[in-house]
C-alpha cells in the first residue's frame, strides 16, 4: 500500500515522493568487492555500521543515495575505526587477506529479511 501525505503537507511544500528502498539483498563478499570497485569509498559511515554513497546515476542523472546496512547485532571490529570498516573489509576480501572482522558479522542479511535457503 502506498503511503500518502496529509492534505496539509501538500499545501506547505512541493510534492516530494516518499523515499523507499529499491532493492534489498544479502551482501556476499563478491558484492562488497563489486561495490568497492564501482562506487569507491563511501561518502559517509555510521557507528551502526551503515555505509553511504551518493551517486548521480539515477533517472535523468538525479542523485541517488545508496546504503549498505550491516547484519542485526553488528559490532565494529575493535581493531579498526568506523570510517575504515568498509574499505578495509573490501580490500581484504579482494586480495584474499584476513578481514578485520568476520564478513558474516559485518555484512549479510538486512534486518527483518528472512533467510531463504
Query: What's the rounded Cα separation, in Å, for the pair 73 and 32?
Result: 19
Mean pLDDT value of segment 28-51: 91
End-to-end Cα spacing for the chain: 28
pLDDT, one tens digit per residue, over 77-106 is 888 999 999 999 999 999 999 988 766 555
CB 43 within 8 A of CB 64: no
C-alpha cell at 72: 542485526
Positive/negative CA dihedral, 111, 101, 104, 25: positive
Name the pTM for this structure: 0.66
C-alpha cell at 34: 563489486
Amino acid at each position: 500500500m502506498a503511503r500518502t501525505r496529509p492534505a496539509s503537507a501538500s499545501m506547505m511544500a512541493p510534492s516530494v515522493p516518499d523515499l523507499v528502498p529499491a532493492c534489498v539483498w544479502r551482501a556476499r563478499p563478491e558484492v562488497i568487492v563489486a561495490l568497492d570497485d564501482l562506487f569507491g569509498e563511501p561518502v559517509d559511515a555510521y557507528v551502526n555500521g551503515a555505509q553511504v554513497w551518493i551517486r548521480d546515476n539515477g533517472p535523468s542523472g538525479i542523485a541517488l543515495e545508496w546504503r549498505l546496512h550491516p547484519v542485526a547485532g553488528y559490532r565494529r571490529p575493535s581493531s579498526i575505526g568506523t570510517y575504515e570498516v568498509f574499505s578495509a573489509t573490501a580490500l581484504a576480501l579482494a586480495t584474499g587477506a584476513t578481514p578485520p572482522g568476520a564478513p558474516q558479522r559485518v555484512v549479510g542479511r538486512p534486518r527483518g529479511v528472512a533467510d531463504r535457503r
